[in-house]
Structure 1
Amino acid sequence: MTFKRLIELPVGKHSFFLFGPRQTGKTTLINGILSAGIPFFSVNLLQTESFIKYSRDPALFHKEIEYWQKKHSTAVVFVDEIQKLPVLLDQIHSMIEAHKGRLTFIMTGSSARKLKRAEVNLLGGRAWSFKLFPLTFTEIGAIFHLEDVLRYGALPVIFTMEGQDKVRTLKAYTDTYLKEEILAESIVRNIPAFSRFLELAADQSGMSVNYNNFARETGVASKTIKEYYQVLEDTLIAFALQPYLKSARKRLVSHSVYYLFDLGVLNALCRRLGSEPVKGTDLYGRLFEHFIILEIYRMNRYSEKDWPMYYWRTSQGAEVDLVLETEQGLLAVEIKSRGQIRPSDLRGLFNFIGEYKGSKGICVTTADRPYEVNGIECLPWQEFLKKFFS
Structure 2
Amino acid sequence: MINRTITPTIENKIGSGKAIMIIGPRQVGKTTIILDQLKGKDFTFFDGDDPSIRTELDTPNTEKIRRLIGGKKIVFIDEAQRINGIGLTLKIITDQFKDVQLWISGSSSFNLFNELNEPLTGRKWEYELYPISWEEYENHVGYLKAQQSLESRLIYGMYPDVINNENGREKEVLRNLVNSYLYRDILSHGEIRKPEVLEKLVQGLALQVGSEVNYNELSQLVSISKDTVQRYIEILEKGYVIFRLRSFNRNVRNEIKRGRKIYFYDNGIRNAIIGEFGSLDHRQDVGMLWENFLVSERIKQNSYKLTFAKSHFWRTAQQQEIDYVEQNGLKLKAFEFKWNPKAKARFSKTFLNTYEAEGKLINRDNFREFVILEE
Name the TM-score, length of structure 2 as normaliser.
0.89
Structure 1 spans left out of the alignment, 5+ residues: 70-74, 368-379
Partner of 1:42: 45
Partner of 2:351: 352
CA distance in 1 between counterparts of 2:352 and 2:27 reads 41
Deviations 1:150-202 (A, max 9, x none): 01000001112144421012112223322232111111112221121111111
Structure 2 spans left out of the alignment, 5+ residues: none
The alignment yields a C-alpha RMSD, in angstroms, of 2.3
CA distance in 2 between counterparts of 1:307 and 1:61 reads 44
Q: 2:300 aligns with which of 298, 301, 304?
A: 298
Partner of 2:89: 91
1:114 CA drift (Å): 2.3
Residue 5 in structure 1 maps to residue 4 in structure 2: yes
Change (3 A) 1:84 1:121: farther
Partner of 1:371: none
Give the AA of the match of 1:185. H
CA distance in 2 between counterparts of 1:204 and 1:312 reads 17
Residue 383 in structure 1 maps to residue 369 in structure 2: yes
Residue 25 in structure 1 maps to residue 23 in structure 2: no
Shifted more, 54-63 versus 224-233: the winner is: 54-63
Partner of 1:266: 270
CA distance in 2 between counterparts of 1:40 and 1:305 reads 34
Contact 2:135 2:371 in 1 (8 A): no
Count of residue pairs the alignment pairs up: 363
CA distance in 1 between counterparts of 2:64 and 2:38 reads 20
Partner of 2:328: 326
Deviations 1:21-40 (A, max 9, x none): 111110011111221x5543
Residue 238 in structure 1 maps to residue 242 in structure 2: yes
Residue 317 in structure 1 maps to residue 315 in structure 2: no
Q: 1:363 aligns with which of 355, 361, 364?
A: 361
Give the AA of the match of 1:176. S
Fraction of identical pairs, as percent: 24
CA distance in 2 between counterparts of 1:38 and 1:172 reads 32
The secondary structure found in structure 1 opposite 2:258 is coil
Q: 1:287 aligns with which of 286, 289, 301?
A: 289
Contact 1:12 1:76 in 2 (8 A): no
The secondary structure found in structure 2 opposite 1:125 is coil
Question: Which runs of structure 1 show a deviation greater than 6 angstroms over 4 or more consecutive aligned residues?
Answer: none
Deviations 1:43-66 (A, max 9, x none): 222234433444496657612355
CA distance in 2 between counterparts of 1:58 and 1:187 reads 30
Residue 220 in structure 1 maps to residue 224 in structure 2: yes
Change (3 A) 1:185 1:88: closer
Contact 1:251 1:314 in 2 (8 A): yes
CA distance in 1 between counterparts of 2:330 and 2:57 reads 50
CA distance in 1 between counterparts of 2:274 and 2:211 reads 15
CA distance in 1 between counterparts of 2:109 and 2:51 reads 21
The secondary structure found in structure 1 opposite 2:93 is helix
Contact 2:155 2:268 in 1 (8 A): yes
Partner of 2:154: 150
CA distance in 2 between counterparts of 1:321 and 1:125 reads 37
Residue 62 in structure 1 maps to residue 61 in structure 2: no
Name the TM-score, length of structure 1 as normaliser.
0.86
The secondary structure found in structure 2 opposite 1:42 is strand
1:288 CA drift (Å): 1.1
CA distance in 1 between counterparts of 2:108 and 2:118 reads 15
Deviations 1:122-165 (A, max 9, x none): 42231122110001111112253111110100000111214442
The secondary structure found in structure 2 opposite 1:173 is helix
Change (3 A) 1:277 1:238: same
1:41 CA drift (Å): 2.4
Change (3 A) 1:238 1:389: farther
Partner of 1:376: none
CA distance in 1 between counterparts of 2:60 and 2:94 reads 19
Change (3 A) 1:248 1:39: farther
CA distance in 1 between counterparts of 2:57 and 2:153 reads 40
Which runs of structure 2 are paired with 1:183-262 in the superposition (5 Å)? 183-252=187-256, 254-262=258-266
CA distance in 1 between counterparts of 2:64 and 2:109 reads 21
